[in-house]
Amino acid sequence: MDTLVSFGQLFLGGFQTPTLGFLLGGMFMAAMGSRLSIPDQVYKFIVFVLLMKIGLRGGMEIRNANLAELLLPAFFAVLIGIIIVYGGKVALSKLPGIRPVDAIATAGLFGAVSASTFAAAMLHLDDIGMEYEAWVSALYPFMDITALVLAIVLARLVTQKEDKANDKEAPKHKRKDINIQAIVVDSLRGSALSALILGLLLGLLTKPEPVYESFYNPVFRGFLSILMVIMGIEAWQRLSELRRVAHWYAVYAVIAPLMHGAIAFGFGAIAHHLTGFSPGGVVLLAILAASSSDISGPPTLRAGIPTANPSAFIGSSTSIGTPICIAIGIPLFTELAKVVF
């Protein structure tokens, strides 16, 4: 009961945290029809700086870390990515009005990871003083790439089956082989993962402390606040697209972040008991799972699953999944970690 009250207070207080406030503020301005917008090149720059900051810090701290500890959570991150995409495909495909490729693309996007949501969760843990392992940001690609690759592979299998069914005498050259390695490499080359990896490498191999302390760390909070405004505006604008597709996408987008987070929280708890994975690390693993990709995921899936309807998968992720994850997921799993561990 005390826990419920304390979570209720935290949840209400959550609307006062700047991160969530800026997200809701952006949504509110867009809802009021404001012409407020942040230029696209500035958005890309802000994302680059945030990911470099996360990467640099991870890289600097990994130097003294025992990387054997990373193995189990990294394996779990891959497993969670597979569960989310495969489970999402099966669940969504059964719903009326949802085509298999759209089900797969949506599940893929919810399995992939949002750098901005992850940054918001890290800032939240820093603010309340809950510690986490230095290498947690290195878990990002394990879950992100697994989800994107699995979604693209599943979608190609589905498309090939349909092609066969539709046209039994289809020319053989149309049946392309699925090159998993190419999809993995292409994901790693995306701008978001590249910035994170660059930051990790520089943090690990150079001594970027002066530039980290004088620039990347001080601007982190401000840049994240602006990113939240952009995401809020985008979330509202995408809502109109979502109205044009089956309502089941919205239902999925409300439930999925919390369910995915809960699954990951469970795996995190196992790692906590087996290898001493920190409570903060468990929260961040849960948020990795609860978040859905907003930067590199959408273009990757558009290119990789060209027959899927972007209004469905991007709309449900951006306008419902991400706000739910930030507004409810972050305080929920943080509070859960306080109670459970």
Helix H or strand E segment including 291: none
For its own copies, give the closer residue by CB, 223 or 265.
223
The CA-atom distances, in angstroms, between 46 and each of 115, 227, 281 are 11, 7, 25
* Start-to-end Cα distance in the chain: 17
Instruction: Decide: residue 119, CB within 10 A, 0-12 exposed, 13-18 middle, 19+ buried.
Output: buried
Are 113 and 140 in contact by the 8 Å Cβ rule? The answer is yes
Rounded least distance, CB 188 to its own copies, Å:
8
Q: Smaller CB distance to its own copies: residue 27 or 269? A: 27
Structure tokens at 48: 């680059």
Tell me how far, at minimum, the Cβ of 292 lies from its own copies, in Å.
21
Burial class, 66, CB count within 10 angstroms (exposed 0-12 / middle 13-18 / buried 19+) = exposed
Encoding tokens for residue 211?
A: 């530039």
To its own copies, the closest distance from the beta carbon of 274 in angstroms equals: 34
Coil, strand, or helix at residue 208? coil
Contact partners, residue 173, CB within 8 Å, separation at least 6: none
* Residue placing its CB nearer to its own copies in the complex, 27 or 83: 27
Residue closer to its own copies by CB (options 282, 295) is 295
Cβ distance 289 to 110 under 8 Å?
no
Question: What is the contact surface with its own copies in residues (CB under 8 A)?
Answer: 15-18, 20-22, 25-26, 28-29, 32-42, 44-45, 48-49, 127, 185, 188-191, 194-195, 197-198, 201-202, 205-208, 210-211, 214-216, 218-219, 221-226, 229
Minimum Å gap between C-beta 116 and its own copies is 15
CB 71, min distance to its own copies, A: 24
**What minimum distance in Å lies between the beta carbon of 204 and its own copies?**
10
Q: What is the CA radius of gyration of the chain?
A: 20
Could you tell me if 312 and 249 are in contact, meaning their C-beta atoms sit under 8 angstroms apart? yes
Residue 2 or 40: the one with the smaller Cβ distance to its own copies is 40
In angstroms, what is the minimal distance from the CB of 60 to its own copies?
11
Cα separation of 127 and 93, whole Å? Answer: 41
Q: How far is the CB of 10 from its own copies (least distance, A)?
A: 14
Q: How far is the CB of 215 from its own copies (least distance, A)?
A: 2
Question: In terms of CB distance, is 197 or 283 closer to its own copies?
Answer: 197
Cα angle: 115, vertex 235, 31; to 5 degrees: 145
Tokens read off for 208: 């970027």
The upper half-sphere exposure of residue 286, i.e. CA atoms within 13 Å in the direction of its Cβ, equals: 34
Distance separating alpha carbons of residues 118 and 339, to the nearest angstrom:
22
CB 305 within 8 A of CB 104: yes
131/213 with CB nearer its own copies: 213
